[in-house]
């Protein structure tokens, strides 16, 4: 395959040759750029880059892509999604407009249980087709690696069905896909009065079956009020660790419920949501390598608080941003919109927000060695923007599609969709 030379790049953004695997505190503002640049992509790898006054001599055959007026960025890493689902849930959206809360709807059998009922009726093939379509759209919107959770099955058969869909997506997707088992997303109807029984089912039946088919990379629990307690979460995480599944958990979305503490106590790779994060949670995270992940599109859609990421950064923590794409709390996976929300609502600078969605996202998926920055020998999963003034235009122009082309494994993916 011919090499590819990107030329006349207005600004090459997010360069990092330091070898660091995440950026914390004030270092989240570090965002190295090179004006009037070129990038040499060899097969699927960033081979070299430099400025146009110093173009390399490439002897192998190569194609040229003129990037005049464009920024070239590392692709977004979306470390938290639920893109395998059967149906949208706009009826609940209307209920919330009329005054019901997310928790009230869930307690009445809506929410996650509504999605589980619909998913149990859909075939694996049909679920796969729908998720594959979503994934292709996300790639065109600049997502260059993704995590996908189960959690709308809530029975042995249906959790396995979801995870098999994710395994098929992994096999076919051009970008890295990580699979997370979220059997403990909600207590299903059949176990309404027997939550211990459901936890036992997860531990005794789901985990061994998932292990036997190598269906998961990580273990998630929705540790929050009305869902799973910290003690239940701890038991589930201990059971999962026996199968080598590291925790990535949902915590502190609905209250100060101990999710952060249990995540840190079990060396979670990340703890995600964090809308309710105070001094105690920050102090706890500072003692750990657990990545705090904020999901501003969920806060936007549900009208709940935004995670206090400015306070976290001021305390010296790293922050990651992800989409949380799912039919209940975040029916959109566009990372460009997450970028806008992070700047507009959470007051991150464009540079901090970009680090949160690239290098820190790669950390949250254990992909820092291959993705997350413009670095020699990392994978050429890149975003080429339309002609723009500079980085700040991207979050500023909220809702606009600022992407002209995406490169995945060094190849242009055509047909970027606009709104």
Among 324, 343, 348, 405, binds Fe ion (CB under 5 A): 324
CA–CA separation, 190 and 194 (whole Å): 8
Could you tell me which residues are beta bridge partners of residue 219?
181, 247
Residue nearest to Fe ion (CB): 324
- 232 to 251: interface string for ligand NIG, x by CB under 6 A: ------------------x-
Phi then psi for 399, rounded to 5 degrees? 85, -15
Among 253, 275, 281, 352, binds ligand NIG (CB under 6 A): 253
Q: Which listed range, 14-22, 122-130, 133-141, 325-333, lies at the site for ligand NIG (CB under 6 A)?
A: 325-333
Return the half-sphere exposure (C-beta side, CA atoms, 13 A cut-off) of residue 347. 8
Residue with tokens 């706009």: 90
111 is an interface residue for ligand NIG by CB under 6 A? yes
**Residue 112 near which of Fe ion, ligand NIG, none (CB within 5-8 Å, type-dependent):** ligand NIG
Residue with the closest Cβ to ligand NIG?
A: 328
Q: How many residues at the interface with ligand NIG, by CB under 6 A?
A: 12
Judged by beta carbon, residue 66 or residue 91, the one nearer ligand NIG is 91
Task: Single out the segment in contact with ligand NIG by CB under 6 A; choices: 25-33, 47-55, 110-118, 207-215.
Answer: 110-118
- The CA distance from 333 to 128, in Å, is 17
Nearer to ligand NIG, 302 or 382 (CB): 302
How far is residue 342's CA from residue 23's CA, in Å, rounded to a whole number? 16
Q: Could you say which of 298, 309, 321, 380 contacts ligand NIG (CB under 6 A)?
A: 298
Establish if 324 lies at the interface with ligand NIG (CB under 6 A).
yes
Near ligand NIG in 18-37, by CB under 6 A = none
Q: How far apart are CA 354 and CA 73, in angstroms?
A: 9
Longest dimension (CA), the chain: 71
Closer by beta carbon to ligand NIG, 49 or else 227: 227
The footprint of ligand NIG on residues 328-357 (CB under 6 A) is 328-329
**CA-CA distance, 137 to 334, in Å (whole number)?**
9
> Does residue 78 bind Fe ion (CB under 5 A)?
no
Q: What are phi and psi of 65, to 5 degrees?
A: -125, 120
Q: Which stretch binds Fe ion (CB under 5 A): 167-175, 186-194, 307-315, 320-328?
A: 320-328
Using rule CB under 5 A, residue 253 touches Fe ion:
no
Identify the residue among 128, 141, 222, 306 touching ligand NIG (CB under 6 A).
222
**Residue 365 dihedral angles phi and psi, to the nearest 5°:** -120, 10
Nearer to ligand NIG, 83 or 391 (CB): 83
Q: How far apart are CA 22 and CA 34, in angstroms?
A: 21
Is 282 among the residues that bind ligand NIG (CB under 6 A)?
A: no
Buried b (16+ CB within 10 A) or exposed e, 102-121: beebbeeebbbbbbbbbbbe
- Start-to-end Cα distance in the chain: 33
Of 11-19, 109-117, 278-286, 398-406, the window that binds ligand NIG (rule: CB under 6 A) is 109-117
Reduce the DSSP state of residue 221 to 3 states and report it: strand
Q: How far is the CB of 224 from ligand NIG (least distance, A)?
A: 7
Q: Minimal CA–CA distance to 174: which of 143, 150, 149?
A: 143
Task: Give the footprint of ligand NIG on this chain (CB under 6 A).
Answer: 111-112, 115, 222, 250, 253, 298, 324, 326-329
């Amino acid at each position: 395959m011919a090499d590819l030379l990107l030329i006349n790049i207005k600004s090459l953004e997010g360069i990092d040759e330091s070898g660091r695997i995440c950026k914390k505190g004030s270092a989240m503002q570090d965002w190295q750029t090179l004006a009037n640049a070129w990038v040499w992509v060899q097969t699927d790898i960033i081979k070299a880059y430099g400025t146009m006054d110093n173009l390399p001599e490439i002897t192998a055959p190569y194609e040229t892509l003129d990037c005049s007026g464009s920024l070239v960025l590392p692709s977004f890493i979306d470390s938290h999604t639920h893109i395998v689902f059967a149906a949208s849930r706009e009826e609940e959206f209307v209920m919330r407009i009329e005054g019901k809360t997310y928790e009230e709807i869930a307690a009445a059998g809506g929410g996650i249980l509504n999605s589980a009922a619909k998913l149990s009726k859909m075939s694996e093939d049909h679920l796969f087709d729908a998720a594959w379509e979503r994934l292709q759209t996300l790639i065109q919107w600049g997502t260059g690696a993704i995590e996908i959770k189960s959690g709308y099955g809530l029975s042995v058969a249906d959790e396995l069905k979801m995870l098999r869909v994710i395994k098929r997506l992994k096999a076919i997707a051009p970008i890295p896909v990580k699979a997370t088992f979220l059997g403990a997303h909600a207590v299903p109807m059949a176990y309404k009065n027997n939550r211990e029984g459901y936890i036992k089912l997860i531990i005794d039946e789901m985990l061994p079956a998932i292990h036997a088919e190598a269906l998961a990379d990580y273990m998630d629990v929705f540790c929050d009020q009305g869902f799973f307690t910290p003690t239940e979460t701890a038991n589930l995480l201990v059971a999962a660790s026996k199968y080598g599944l590291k925790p990535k958990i949902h915590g502190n979305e609905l209250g100060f419920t101990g999710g952060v503490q249990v995540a840190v106590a079990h060396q979670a790779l990340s703890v995600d949501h964090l809308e309710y994060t105070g001094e105690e949670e920050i102090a706890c995270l500072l003692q750990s390598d657990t990545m705090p992940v904020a999901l501003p599109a969920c806060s936007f859609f549900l009208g709940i608080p935004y995670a206090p990421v400015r306070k976290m950064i001021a305390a010296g923590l790293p922050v990651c941003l992800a989409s949380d794409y799912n039919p209940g709390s975040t029916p959109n996976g566009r990372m460009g919109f997450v970028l806008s929300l992070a700047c507009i609502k959470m007051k991150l600078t464009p540079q901090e927000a970009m680090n949160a969605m690239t290098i820190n996202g790669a950390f949250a998926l254990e992909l820092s060695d291959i993705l997350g920055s413009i670095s020699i020998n990392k994978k050429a999963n890149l975003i080429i923007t339309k002609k723009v003034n500079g980085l700040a235009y991207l979050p500023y122009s909220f809702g606009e599609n600022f992407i002209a082309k995406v490169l995945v494994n060094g190849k242009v993916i055509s047909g970027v969709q606009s709104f």
